Amino acid sequence: MVRWLRERGLAGELAAEFAGTMVLILFGCGAVAQVIAGGLGGHDSIAWSWGFGVTFGVYVAGRISGGHLNPAVSVALAMFSGFEWRKVLPYSVAQTAGAFVGALLVRWNYGSMLHAADPRHTIKTQIVFSTLPGNGTLPVDVRNAFLDQIIGTAILLFLILAVTDTRNVAPQANLMPLIVGLIVVAIGMAWGSAAGYAINPARDFGPRFASFLTGYGGAFVDQTGYPYFWVPIVAPILGGAGGAGAYRLVIGRYLPVEQREPGRADQTSG
């Protein structure tokens, strides 16, 4: 891995994934903090801000790294779209680090407001940084939340492959980040209540760890005390692989074969 990191190409890709995922968190967690601690906005503003965060993050990283911003995307593309397996772990680390730093910036900026709203740093404001079954309030158990994350991430990858497949009706490259962002907005509006639609292990674990280090001692458990942190890691990986595989099986196999330059892999953003 040290040798790979010294490669100029991979170093640039990791920097792009770090920066793009940080931008995603700045808008996403920032919006949740504004709603929870500041009383400004609501569910729709959160959904739109996460979508815009994805859009802007992909615009930042897309040309250099493909703008995955999500380990579930990197794994799925390695399985079904020619992305190099050797890059999956470095990409995932860079994405998680970017999410961690983005969350620290949100925590720093909104620290006074978060303390005023929730001096004991409980689930009430923990939701700013990481997800919980039923968003910490609704009667959703871990099994339901796990299933929700599988389905939500499967939808995400199914649609990402659909809109980035140049054999299909793909938008022009400069519009791709906007379309992918709109996919995230739609998932947030339709699949946001059961588990907070993390649909991204880096997006959840990076901020969760950042909040743990800054006073949220219960960051790794849910409202019942169950160690919940693994659910938004494992379920999105499974769901992303399932969604990408379903696209290849149900749609991709029937599309015309595209002539590619030798050695050129899909450059899919998400």
Residue 6, pLDDT score: 57
Residue 268 has pLDDT above 50, yes or no: no
Q: What is the mean pLDDT of residues 21-48?
A: 97
**Distance of alpha carbon 100 from alpha carbon 16, whole angstroms:** 15
Q: Considering the chain, what is the average pLDDT of its residues?
A: 93
Cα dist. 251→150, 172, 189 in Å? Answer: 20, 20, 25
In this prediction the pTM is 0.92
Give the lowest-confidence range in 11-25, 85-99, 158-172, 219-233.
Answer: 158-172
Mean pLDDT of 246-264: 76
Q: Which CATH number fits domain 2-254: 1.10.510.10, 1.20.1080.10, 1.10.10.2120, 3.40.50.300?
A: 1.20.1080.10
Report d(CA 147, CA 227) in Å as an integer: 17
Q: How far apart are CA 270 and CA 181, in angstroms?
A: 8
In tens, the pLDDT along 138-154 reads 999 999 999 999 999 99
- Element counts in the chain: helices (H) and strands (E): 11, 0
Burial 86-113 (b: 16+ CB within 10 A, else e): ebbebbbbbbbbbbbbbbbebbeebeeb
